Amino acid sequence: MQDDAPENSAFAALQMREVDEHSIEAAIAQSGERLVCVFFWGVDCVNCDIAKKAMLAQPQAIRSLDLAWLHGNVYVHPELGKRFGLHGIPVFMFFHRGKKLGKATGWHGLAQFQGAVANARLKLAHDR
């Protein structure tokens, strides 16, 4: 992969940590009290590239959501897709202390993504 590839730029800009089927649980646990967003994606996935470019176009808005970011390439690590029942990508799943709080399927714009984050935070507040 080239250093200027959309995934490298988006992952670096948002400080996304790469995970696979062996490291995802520990990475989520290491995020402590922060809401975790796992971005499931794949190389040459057009919709994944659209999501990455959209996030790069508005990094401050994405950063203001105060998420701990992880990313997993389900084409390289198909066990991730199987484990989380993914039928397409991109998918953004939200976790807190290992508990899944929701997901956003596809990238339908910043407002939709912000709404998914807000819903995950509401569920977290309700569960406490």
Domains and CATH numbers, the chain: 6-127 (3.40.30.10)
Sheet (strand 35-41) strand order: 17-18, 67-73, 35-41, 91-96, 99-105
Sort 66 into a burial class: Cβ within 10 Å, 0-12 / 13-18 / 19+: exposed
Q: What is the pLDDT of residue 85?
A: 95
User: CA angle, corner 23, sides to 49 and 78, nearest 5?
Assistant: 50
Residue percentage of the chain with pLDDT more than 70: 93
The amino acid occupying position 68 is: A
Is the pTM higher than 0.85? Answer: yes
- pLDDT 10s digits, 68-122: 999 999 999 999 999 999 999 999 999 999 999 999 999 999 999 999 999 999 9
Instruction: Give the confidence band of 5 by pLDDT, cuts at 50, 70, 90.
Output: low
Place of tokens 């490298």: 8
